[in-house]
Amino acid sequence: MIIEIAHFSLILTFMISLVQSTVPLFGAQKNWVNWMRLADKTALIQFVLTCFGFGVLIHAFSVSDFSVKLVALNSHSLKPLIYKITGTWGNHEGSMLLWILIINLYGFLIVLFGKKLPLGLRCRVLSVQGVISAAFLGFLLFTSNPFSRELYPPANGNGLNPVLQDLGLAFHPPFLYLGYVGLSVTFSFAMAALIQGKIDAAWARWVRPWAVSAWVFLTIGISLGSYWAYYELGWGGWWFWDPVENASFMPWLVATALLHSAIVVEKRNTLKSWTILLAILAFSFSLIGTFIVRSGVLTSVHSFASDPTRGIYLLIIVFMFILCSLTLYAVRFSSIKSINQFTFLSRESGLVMNNLLLSASAVIVFVGTLWPLLIETLLSEKMSVGAPFFNIAFTPFMVLLGLLLPVGALLPWRKSKIKRLKPSLLAIGIFSVVSGSVVWSLQTGTRILGPVGVSLSIWIILGSLFDVSKNSTIANGKFLRRYFRLNNLPRYELGKSFAHIGFGLMIFGISAVSAWEVEDIRIVHLNEPYQVRGYTFELIAVSEFPVSNYITRRGSLLVKKDERTLATLLPEKRYYPVQATTTTEASINSNIFRDIYVVLGDRNSENSWVVRTYIKPFILWIWIGAFCIAIGGVVSLSDRRYRMASSYSNKLVKL
């Protein structure tokens, strides 16, 4: 019964979203305040109803109600409770419902934090949110209803894909969706601004916190996904340039460009039309991403079941949104005026370069991701675009971005006084090149990647540190006074440096692990030690035993260096009888200098197994860097001005 009520509540939400997408918008055009005020209430009701629907689905999963088709297909009574719950969004219908829950959550948050937004802007924003919510609710109800019943409930369910039975599923999809869908808010703001034809610095001040928070979630979601792939898939890689990864990476690149260009709108009231375009593109990319992942045009762990009608419906949604928003943009383009000018050497032009490079790299990823689909549709030839393509085409833009970053971040607004900065920049530059050469002379082999990466990351990190120290230096600054000065530094400045340092750390991690990683595959006999780059490994036992819903075969490897035992690694192979599936669980010993990563392969003979061993220097820095980037976003969100912006008085607008 409660399932039917939940289903009904979703249908109700759909109806309300239709109201929300039309009535307030019409009211705003006519200036009918009552009609406009309706948006707040509908957004609230939508959120409550979707929460209810989602809650019921979680409940159905956790009590293993197999009379619900979705639960029967994707769950199993023997599964641990945590995976029953996370399994709610480990399937197509459930994850779409999560998508809708989050879009309505954002609607609710707009009402909550946007109390002081001008009514016209707020109700238009909520209207556009209503359109998005309606489109996806329609998709859910007509093609992928999560609440379909099974007429003859099976005794037990089919179970969840074992690869997904991991804590990663609890965090990666919700964070990613918070980011993906968060970009709908900036999109709605852009649409609302275009509809009402007014974009000013205040608009940017309202938009930027939303852009930053969506971007923070996206950053966390992507890096969680990357770490999950790293330890779960057992291939030792952290990024595969898989279409599904790219689907989340493209909106990230554009969102990064967006939050930089929004600064220019806010501070200098220029680059407005470009910022609007980026807001449209960022959400378009997350729609395209949703299409790529959810439609089943590409198969991966992420695409759960393919059904052609779903693909077509999704494609129509994506196409309509992009078409309508770009048309509106084209119509209104001429009315958006940017007044301020800036010179070649100014922070504005630094941010323009940042935008151009990020957009160009997003284009590269876009081409590489969609090329195989295009070729297959046009020439019916099958091919794939692999990592080598992206390494060649994408990397140069990132290197260029890294080179320009410290300079651009240091330049003052409007006009440059580069002369004053020159000596310090030169010193940092020389220092980073020298450190790179030192690394080059220390490493064995002649690969240039490692040293270049080290130089680049030192350049970025020192540049950002210099930026902070410059801002906190007073004429005869003592250390303590500097500290207080630092504490008084605007939070967005601090956040900026955090994020830039994170980017530098990430570059260091990526280039170090790509340049100096060691891979070793061999047949290992019990109690016969082998060596990989100074570490001694010894397989001391392999045992088999059942755990909750799987049977594990676990190897124990002793890792030693200089006769000192560092760790016992326990790589596993797990067999899940319900799905008749085996998964590989790598065992990793991590520290900030290196990861030791061991995978147990098949049995070769009575006492020997195939074992794959990796030594991955500095790989942890990739995720530490990503974490710093996200922290930077959070710190900048805590800036006073944004708190002020959320309580901007209505009077200003009336004037």
List residues near other proteins by CB under 8 A. Answer: 73, 158, 161-163, 234, 298-301, 305, 341, 343-344, 352-353, 356-357, 360-361, 363-364, 367-368, 371-372, 381-393, 396-397, 521-523, 573, 579-584, 599, 601-602, 604, 610, 612
Half-sphere exposure of 617 (CA within 13 A, CB side): 13
Residue 538 contacts residue 527 (beta carbons within 8 Å): yes
Query: C-alpha distances in angstroms, 2 versus 54, 57, 73, 100, 555?
Result: 12, 10, 19, 20, 47
Segment holding 523, helix H or strand E: strand 518-525
Give least dist CB 396 to other proteins, A.
6
Quote the least distance from Cβ 6 to other proteins, whole Å.
23
Nearer CB in complex with other proteins: 11/610: 610
- Output 388 or 445, the one with its CB closest to other proteins: 388
For other proteins, which is the closer residue by CB, 73 or 185?
73
Are the CB atoms for 369 and 289 separated by under 8 Å? no
**Least distance (Å) between residue 507 CB and other proteins:** 19
Q: Quote the least distance from Cβ 185 to other proteins, whole Å.
A: 28
Identify which of residues 55 and 153 has a Cβ nearer to other proteins in the complex: 153
Nearest approach in angstroms of CB 324 to other proteins is 25
Least separation in angstroms between residue 472's CB and other proteins is 33
Asked if 159 contacts 75 with a C-beta cutoff of 8 angstroms, the reply is yes
Query: How is residue 525 written in tokens?
Result: 């006999």
| 590, β-bridge pairs | 595
What is the distance of C-alpha 421 from the center of its chain? 35
| H helix intervals, 148-271 | 168-196, 201-232, 243-268
Count Cβ atoms below 10 Å from residue 514 Cβ, excluding itself: 15
Q: How far is the CB of 337 from other proteins (least distance, A)?
A: 11
Q: Is the CB of 17 or the CB of 256 nearer to other proteins?
A: 256
Smallest separation, CB 524 to other proteins (Å): 10
Q: Give the integer Cα–Cα distance in Å for 296 and 204.
A: 37
Q: What angle do CA 234, 237, 238 make, to 5 degrees?
A: 115
Shortest separation between residue 158's beta carbon and other proteins, angstroms = 6
The encoded tokens of residue 149 equal: 């019943």
Cβ nearer to other proteins, comparing 20 with 355: 355
User: Who contacts 39 (Cβ-Cβ below 8 Å, separation ≥6)?
Assistant: 20, 23, 24, 122, 123, 126, 127, 130
Classify residue 580 as left (phi > 0), alpha (psi -120 to 50) or beta.
Answer: left
User: Which of 97/364 has CB closer to other proteins?
Assistant: 364
Tell me the closest approach of the beta carbon of residue 200 to other proteins, in angstroms.
Answer: 20
Q: Which is nearer to other proteins, 48 or 356 (CB)?
A: 356
Helix (H, G, I), strand (E, B) or coil at 481: helix
Nearer to other proteins, 300 or 649 (CB): 300
Question: Would you list the DSSP string of 411-458?
Answer: SPSSS--HHHHHHHHHHHHHHHHHHHHHHHHHSSS--SHHHHHHHHHH
For 483, phi then psi, to 5°, come to -60, -45
Q: Which is nearer to other proteins, 120 or 601 (CB)?
A: 601
Q: Least distance (Å) from other proteins to the CB of residue 362?
A: 10
Q: How far apart are CA 215 and CA 502, in angstroms?
A: 14
Which is closer to other proteins, CB of 48 or CB of 518? 518
d(CA 538, CA 524): 8
- Judged by beta carbon, residue 382 or residue 654, the one nearer other proteins is 382
Minimal distance, residue 392 CB to other proteins, in Å: 4
- H or E element in which residue 101 lies: helix 92-113
Tally the C-alpha atoms within 13 A of residue 198's C-alpha that lie toward its C-beta. Answer: 8
- The least distance separating other proteins from the CB of residue 17, rounded to whole angstroms, comes to 30
Closer of 53 and 159 to other proteins (Cβ):
159
- Nearer residue to other proteins within complex by CB, 136 or 614: 614
Count of alpha carbons within 13 Å of 379, Cβ hemisphere only? 7
Q: Give just the sign of the alpha carbon dihedral 530, 587, 600, 387.
A: negative
Tell me which residue of 503, 461, 460 sits closest to 632, measured CA to CA: 503
Shortest reach from residue 382's CB to other proteins, in Å: 4
Quick one: which H or E segment has residue 604? strand 594-605
Give the DSSP H or E segment for 41: helix 33-62
Q: How far is the CB of 83 from other proteins (least distance, A)?
A: 15
Nearer to other proteins, 590 or 608 (CB): 608
- Least distance between other proteins and beta carbon 284 (Å): 19
Q: Which is nearer to other proteins, 52 or 389 (CB)?
A: 389
User: What is the smallest separation between the CB atom of 444 and other proteins, expressed in angstroms?
Assistant: 24
- 599, β-bridge pairs: 612
Contact 259, 294 (CB under 8 A): no
Measured CA to CA, the distance from residue 318 to residue 147 in angstroms comes to 25
Q: Which helix (H) or strand (E) holds 582?
A: strand 581-585
Asked if 123 contacts 36 with a C-beta cutoff of 8 angstroms, the reply is: yes
Residue with Cβ nearer other proteins (337 or 640):
337
Torsion of CA 158, 163, 168, 169, to 10 degrees: -30
